[in-house]
């Protein structure tokens, strides 16, 4: 499977973040609407849904004779866990990569880490080299050389964010250059 270009990966990350934000907004609005539902009569909802009183019944979960957990606390813990999952999203990639191609097989990488994360703070150099190796293999090069590399922190209102930037130059060995030249010459002679 071919790796996706960095811009496509970044757009997928942004789409996933906006979907999570939309889902959280819809759930919040629905829960806010439920909180103001104490109409003193017939509602538009039918069935056993309470028209007045709490949505969560006053009940407890009896785990043992000595351990009893109120249902309200279980729901609250579930909401906290859901909010933490939406914010941290452990399955999302920790780093967003943007790349730009320059002449002479030079590439500039700009990496940004998720603002809220649970681990992966020291992965910048590893991600940088992984992307360089992917480009090297895709282009049929033999190696790459790191021209420059830097790491830092970017501050904003929402907190700091780890960033790194670097430039690589893709290289070919003399043997592969001669082999490619021979291939081109053979194709040219075969067509004439």
Radius of gyration of the chain (CA): 28
Q: Which residues lie below 8 Å from residue 66, measured CB to CB, with a gap of 6+?
A: none
Residue 99 structure tokens: 């790349």
User: What is the distance between the alpha carbons of residues 164 and 68, in angstroms, rounded to a whole number?
Assistant: 50
Computed from CA positions of residues 122, 124, 130, 132, in that sequence, does the dihedral angle turn out positive or negative?
negative
Backbone angles phi, psi at 113, to 5 degrees: -90, 155
Please give the helix or strand (H or E) that residue 7 lies within, else none: helix 6-35
User: For residue 5, with 0-12 CB atoms within 10 Å meaning exposed, 13-18 middle and 19 or more buried, which class applies?
Assistant: middle
Residue 108: give the domain boundaries: 95-180
pTM: 0.51
Give the pLDDT score at 156.
Answer: 80
Domain count, the chain: 2
Evaluate whether residue 191 is within a structural domain: no
158 and 111 within one domain: yes
165 and 143 within one domain: yes
User: What is the distance between the alpha carbons of residues 113 and 121, in angstroms, rounded to a whole number?
Assistant: 8
Give the pLDDT score at 85.
Answer: 80
Give the pLDDT score at 99.
Answer: 92
Single out the residue in 38, 61, 88 at which a domain terminates.
Answer: 88
Mean pLDDT split into 10-residue runs, the chain, 192 residues: 48 57 70 55 52 73 85 89 79 83 92 76 86 90 92 84 92 77 79 54
Instruction: Tell me if 38 sits within 8 A of 28, measured CB to CB.
Output: no
Give the pLDDT score at 96.
Answer: 87
Single out the residue in 61, 88, 115 at which a domain terminates.
Answer: 88
Evaluate whether residue 120 is within a structural domain: yes
Single out the residue in 28, 56, 88 at which a domain terminates.
Answer: 88
Give the pLDDT score at 123.
Answer: 83
């Amino acid at each position: 499977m071919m790796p996706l270009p960095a811009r496509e990966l970044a757009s997928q990350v942004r789409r996933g973040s906006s979907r999570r934000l939309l889902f959280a907004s819809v759930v919040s609005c629905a829960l806010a609407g439920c909180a103001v539902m104490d109409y003193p009569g017939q509602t538009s909802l039918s069935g056993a849904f309470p028209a007045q009183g709490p949505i969560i019944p006053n009940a407890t979960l009896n785990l043992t004779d000595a351990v009893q957990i109120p249902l309200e606390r279980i729901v609250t813990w579930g909401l906290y866990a859901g909010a933490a999952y939406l914010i941290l999203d452990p399955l999302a990639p920790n780093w967003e990569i943007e790349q730009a191609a320059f002449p002479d097989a030079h590439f500039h990488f700009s990496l940004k880490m998720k603002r809220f994360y649970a681990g992966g703070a020291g992965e910048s150099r590893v991600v940088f080299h992984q992307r360089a190796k992917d480009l090297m293999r895709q282009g049929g090069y033999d190696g790459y050389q790191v021209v420059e590399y830097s790491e830092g922190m970017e501050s904003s209102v929402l907190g700091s964010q780890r960033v790194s930037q670097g430039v690589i130059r893709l290289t070919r060995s003399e043997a592969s250059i001669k082999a490619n030249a021979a291939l081109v010459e053979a194709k040219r002679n075969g067509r004439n």
